[in-house]
Chains A and B, each alone.
Chain A
Amino acid sequence: MKKRNFIQFLVAVWANSYFGFLIRGGIYTGKLKNLCFPGLNCYSCPLALMACPLGILQHVMATLRALPVVAVKGALYLLGSLLFYGLLLGRFVCGWICPFGFLQEMLYRIPLPKIGLPRRARLLKWGLFLGLVLALPFIFKGETGYGEVWFCRTFCPAGTLEAGLPNLVLEPQLRSLIGLLFYWKVLLLAGILLGSILYLRLFCKLFCPLGLIYGFFNRLGLFRLRWQEKNCIFCGLCEKMCPMELEIPKELNSLECIRCLNCLNACPTKSIELKGSFRLETRLDRLPFSVAERRHATRRESLRRNSSG
C-alpha cells in the first residue's frame, strides 16, 4: 500500500470512528458535529464524527427562504470553513483525505478490464452542483417552508453507502420508509461502485460537486505544482501516472488535479515541484543558483551520460 493510500485509510477510519451507536444506538451527537469534515462523508453514518460540507451547503440553501437569518449564520460558518480548507489544502482533500475517493481507488485495483470516458462527461458535475446542490434546494420548498437536500436525496452515493444501508440494518423501524427513491439510490450506488472498478475515480471525475469547489483553489491555495522546463526530458511518465488523465504540464493546477502527487513522484528529473505560495519560498526561488537547482543539474547530467553511454 502506498503512503498516500495509508493516509487515506487512516483519515477514513478516524472520520468514522464512533462506535457509541453499538451501546446507545443512533448517530454521534457530540461536539465534533459542530465542525465540517473537509471531504465527502455522510453525517448520518452511525460511525461519522463530523458534518459533511456538501450536505450543510444544501441545508443552507434549503433554509434560506424559511429562516434567512439562521441560514446566513450557517452560511458564514460553512463558507469560512470551505474557504479555509480550500486555501490550505485545495484538492489535497480529494487525493489524501476523502474516504469516498479512497474507496474508489481501492475498487479500481480489482483486476478487471478498464475503460475510458470522454472528457466532456466531466461537465456533469457542474450540472449537479448548480442544479441539485444550489438551485433546487432553494427553489422548491415543502409545506414546512423548507427546501429539500436534493443532491443527498436523489444522488449522493456516499449517503446511501454510509447512512442508508447501515441505518436500515441497525434500525428496523426505518424499513417501512423504503420506496422507489431508495431503490434508485441503491441502483445508482451499485452503478458508481461498479463503474469505479472499470474507471478510476468515476464519481470524482464525473459527479463530485465538492471536488469542483475545491478545484477552484488549485490556483489560489497555499500549495501549487510547478513545472520546470529546463529539467524536463519529456518522457511522459507524469501523464501516464496521472489518475485524472490530465495533460501535464498544461493542467498541473487545473480544476481537475486531485494533488495525488503521482506526477511529482514519477518524474525522473524532478521537473515537477510542489511549491508553497508563502513568502519564504518565493524569496528562496529568487536566489541565483539554489541547492535544488544544483541537484537538478547533476541529475540531468547523469541522465544524459546514461542515455549516451
Chain B
Amino acid sequence: MKILPKVLWWLAGILLLAGVLSGGFRFVFSRAANLCLSCMGLQ
C-alpha cells in the first residue's frame, strides 16, 4: 500500500470521529429531515 491511501484512511477515520464527537451528524439530520423546497425546485 502506498503512503497516500494510508494517509487518507487515517484522515477519513479522524474526520469521522471528529464529526461524530462534535455532533456534525446533527447538521446532516437538521438538513435531511426537513422537506427541502429548493431540492424540489419550489423555492
A interface list, Cβ under 8 A from B: 26-29, 33-36, 42-44, 50-52, 55-56, 59-60, 63, 70-71, 73-81, 83-84, 87, 148-149, 152-154, 156, 159-160, 163-164, 167-168, 174, 177-179, 181-182, 184-186, 220-221, 277-279, 282
Contact B5 A277 (CB under 8 A): yes
User: Could you tell me the distance between the alpha carbons of A221 and B6 in the complex, rounded to whole angstroms?
Assistant: 10
With both chains docked as a complex, state the minimum distance between the C-beta of B23 and any C-beta of chain A, in angstroms.
6
User: Could you tell me the distance between the alpha carbons of A152 and B37 in the complex, rounded to whole angstroms?
Assistant: 10
Question: Can you list 15 pairs linking A and B with CB atoms under 8 Å apart?
Answer: A34-B28, A56-B27, A75-B24, A76-B15, A80-B14, A83-B16, A87-B8, A152-B36, A163-B35, A164-B41, A178-B42, A182-B40, A220-B4, A220-B8, A277-B1
Contact B31 A159 (CB under 8 A): no
Interface size of B by CB at 8 A reads: 37
With both chains docked as a complex, state the minimum distance between the C-beta of A121 and any C-beta of chain B, in angstroms.
24
Contact A27 B35 (CB under 8 A): yes
With both chains docked as a complex, state the minimum distance between the C-beta of A242 and any C-beta of chain B, in angstroms.
25
B15-40 CB contacts (< 8 Å) to partner A: 15-20, 22-29, 31-40
**Across the interface, which residues of B come within 8 angstroms of A221, CB to CB?**
5
Q: Count the A-B residue pairs with Cβ separation under 8 angstroms: how many?
A: 161
Contact A87 B40 (CB under 8 A): no
With both chains docked as a complex, state the minimum distance between the C-beta of A16 and any C-beta of chain B, in angstroms.
14
Of A34, A51, A156, chain B has the most CB atoms within 10 Å of the CB of A34
With both chains docked as a complex, state the minimum distance between the C-beta of A27 and any C-beta of chain B, in angstroms.
6
With both chains docked as a complex, state the minimum distance between the C-beta of B37 and any C-beta of chain A, in angstroms.
7
Contact A76 B19 (CB under 8 A): yes
**Across the interface, which residues of A come within 8 angstroms of B14, CB to CB?**
80
B4, closest chain A residue (CB): A220
Contact A77 B28 (CB under 8 A): yes
User: B8, B11, B13, B24: which contacts A77 (Cβ < 8 A)?
Assistant: B24
With both chains docked as a complex, state the minimum distance between the C-beta of A278 and any C-beta of chain B, in angstroms.
7
**Across the interface, which residues of A come within 8 angstroms of B37, CB to CB?**
174, 177
With both chains docked as a complex, state the minimum distance between the C-beta of B9 and any C-beta of chain A, in angstroms.
6
User: Could you tell me the distance between the alpha carbons of A50 and B25 in the complex, rounded to whole angstroms?
Assistant: 12
